[in-house]
Structure 1
């Protein structure tokens, strides 16, 4: 029997999750939530196909903000959501449109100027290959992975996140910045070693994860956002933030990226130190006094005006999805927390009305407050990880049913 979480926020959370389940089974909840996701996303899918562009978010005035055509780190999420909805419904329009939209950035697999190729190509073409077994999708993933590998420096032990020769990054004085978000790009590398048999991808991912574990994390289990390394020696030059409140604060989506990333590392390696790290991060997330009772985080756990600070639903979606997978590995019970978050995300407070919210599923996410960008708006990746979490939860329920 799994051990109960000793750090559960309050007994009310367990009671709420349990009482909800007595009224509606988990399977019924997943199906209702996914059915709504299909209806809402169908409206956005049609709009997207009409203009042949990929939705990212809404502007502050409520207008559609499409992914940038040159390169946009979010461009893989909407096609990825379509792949999940195809997996759920088997309706061909989701597959057809996923393929059509992801073809818009197929040439980006050769870009070596950005670390986000894992986000872009694993969420879209990775789900394409997983669900459909498409060999072309596999080959595109390999190309993207090879491009990502050019950013790995074995002397430093990390994949470089941002280039520092132009833009706002150049003004920060960094030499070799690595952000916690980069943990999410490791899944592509792990998967490539699995499908090609070449361990070079996995070795780079493991090295990056180990270096990040050593240098990004504080004793309480929270992480810095940015660690800048000396580009020659690999010595840590500074620990900072770019999207959080302060250098020593805990940016909420960064904590979510780390939880998800180290859960991935354990999936592919079964190295217990990654399981321990994921559990440590989860412990921080649920015990920090900056976490509200409904477990939908403020944009930063240390933001100065809590409880009047914006929430970040995207962080909550990532946390929920990660916890469902982590629950399958851990002796601790993370499923109640995952279900509690998903039920709250599916409430009127955070889930849109049909046809509203720019036709995105979830409301109240935050991109980057320090950059005054995407504040209290829907975000395509919040929807992606929400749908992924629901699919993961439904799968666990189906497996339980099959076991009877």
Structure 2
């Protein structure tokens, strides 16, 4: 080939690739636009859902389509109003704020409910989200009153807030790792009221959980049962994992999120260290799928045919954005970005034709009870939206 022909050939390839580039870019932009349209479609489904004090949407079966509705006393009730507040912050659409106000008002009756440890999930995820939007004294009063109610479940000898009241003939004083997330209500109540009692209870609970819930490899026991006479942990079991020694994916998420949040309020380096250690265990686990959406339990022998849990992925992703903010370790940011992109895709977003007030699909609620398996669940949406907001804030 002579020099002239060579130059002509190179120019030809250059023209060819240049001509193709706009088409490639257009395709990419179209895919993003379609995905944003799907997410907006899901937002509208939440907005259209009728306000009803007995019908907080908890989960949904898809075949046939049926929404599982619960009253405000259910531990998941605060997530739907919280999601509406978060969508308002993401979109600026006042209609979501108006609907959030209506749903949040229906949660007030829970402020005196001393039969549950999930006051944080219920009240802080609803009233607390509203308080982030506007300085509302009524919302502050509800949060503080709820913190007083939650504090009645604290046992000084054990150094923890009691979790469930059921199964009391076997579990003398059960504490679940999920309870870490209810501490945010207490920490905030101290900031609002100036009463340090709430903060001290929350920090003590976190310290007790740190001592007893973690295995040497930084995986987590779901339930620790205490002796109320001695305060000693006498039983370590599961309620929602595959077995007592397995690693329940959402439990890992509660631990990562809970200790990152506890560090935010206390600056206790032990809390940050544990959050990082548990995040490392989770992110590097051999059974974590490539897309970062975990199987419901890392030790389910049915893997790779075991159900996924998008809710666990959403909890961890939101936590990792905050953990990155404290550590500036890009490993957390890169992992969170990857998982959030995968959740925000047609594989995990509910199809536009599904007529239900949910955003994500493929979450697992309670596998041992064959309940809410591979379905949309409200708390998956809440933490997914929080992750979107935390990424946006970066």
Shared fold (TM-score, shorter chain, > 0.5): yes
Distance of 1:353 and 1:243 partners within structure 2? 28
Q: In the alignment, which residue of structure 2 is the partner of 1:253?
A: 250
Q: Which one of 179, 184, 192 corresponds to residue 182 of structure 1?
A: 179
Shift of 1:32: 8.3
Shift of 1:45: 2.5
Shift of 1:261: 0.3
| Contact 2:53–2:72 (CA under 8 A) maintained in structure 1 | no
Shift of 1:59: 3.3
Shift of 1:296: 0.3
Residue 54 to residue 73, structure 1, CA distance change in 2 (3 Å):
same
Residue 366 to residue 356, structure 1, CA distance change in 2 (3 Å):
same
Q: In the alignment, which residue of structure 1 is the partner of 2:192?
A: 195
Q: In the alignment, which residue of structure 2 is the partner of 1:58?
A: 60
Alignment of 1:30-109 (within 5 A): 36-49=38-51, 53-59=55-61, 61-69=63-71, 71-109=73-111
- Tell me: higher relative CO, structure 1 or 2? Use CA pairs within 8 A at least 6 residues apart: 1
Residue 29 to residue 148, structure 1, CA distance change in 2 (3 Å):
farther
Residue 270 to residue 62, structure 1, CA distance change in 2 (3 Å):
farther
| Contact 2:88–2:96 (CA under 8 A) maintained in structure 1 | yes
Q: In the alignment, which residue of structure 2 is the partner of 1:392?
A: 390
Shift of 1:69: 1.9
Distance of 2:137 and 2:180 partners within structure 1? 26
Shift of 1:94: 1.1
What is the RMSD of the two structures over their aligned residues, measured on CA atoms?
A: 2.2
Post-superposition Cα deviations, 1:318-361, rounded to whole Å, max 9, x if no partner, equal 01000001000014221000000001111222112223273421
Residue 29 to residue 258, structure 1, CA distance change in 2 (3 Å):
farther
Post-superposition Cα deviations, 1:102-124, rounded to whole Å, max 9, x if no partner, equal 22231111000000010011111
Distance of 1:29 and 1:232 partners within structure 2? 61
Which stretch shows the higher mean deviation, 222-231 or 344-353?
344-353
Which stretch shows the higher mean deviation, 55-64 or 126-135?
55-64
Distance of 2:384 and 2:106 partners within structure 1? 24
Q: In the alignment, which residue of structure 2 is the partner of 1:345?
A: 343
Q: In the alignment, which residue of structure 2 is the partner of 1:400?
A: none
Residue 273 to residue 357, structure 1, CA distance change in 2 (3 Å):
farther
Give the TM-score, by structure 2 length. Answer: 0.88
Q: In the alignment, which residue of structure 1 is the partner of 2:19?
A: none
Q: In the alignment, which residue of structure 2 is the partner of 1:271?
A: 268
Residue 251 to residue 31, structure 1, CA distance change in 2 (3 Å):
farther
Q: In the alignment, which residue of structure 2 is the partner of 1:324?
A: 321
| Contact 1:83–1:98 (CA under 8 A) maintained in structure 2 | yes
Q: In the alignment, which residue of structure 2 is the partner of 1:360?
A: 358
Larger Rg: 1 or 2? 2
- Number of equivalent positions: 367
Distance of 1:115 and 1:251 partners within structure 2? 20
Distance of 1:156 and 1:71 partners within structure 2? 26
Alignment of 1:284-295 (within 5 A): 284-295=281-292
Structure 2 unmatched ranges of 5 or more:
1-23
Structure 2 counterpart SS, 1:227: strand
Distance of 2:70 and 2:243 partners within structure 1? 28
| Contact 1:40–1:355 (CA under 8 A) maintained in structure 2 | no
Give the TM-score, by structure 1 length. Answer: 0.86
Structure 1 unmatched ranges of 5 or more:
1-21, 397-404
Shift of 1:57: 0.8
Q: In the alignment, which residue of structure 1 is the partner of 2:138?
A: 136
Q: In the alignment, which residue of structure 1 is the partner of 2:128?
A: 126
| Contact 2:76–2:122 (CA under 8 A) maintained in structure 1 | yes
Shift of 1:42: 1.7
Q: In the alignment, which residue of structure 2 is the partner of 1:231?
A: 228
| Contact 2:54–2:70 (CA under 8 A) maintained in structure 1 | no
Shift of 1:292: 1.3
Distance of 1:343 and 1:70 partners within structure 2? 32
Which stretch shows the higher mean deviation, 310-319 or 44-53?
44-53
Q: In the alignment, which residue of structure 1 is the partner of 2:161?
A: 159
Shift of 1:31: 9.8
Structure 1 counterpart SS, 2:350: coil
Which stretch shows the higher mean deviation, 129-138 or 54-63?
54-63
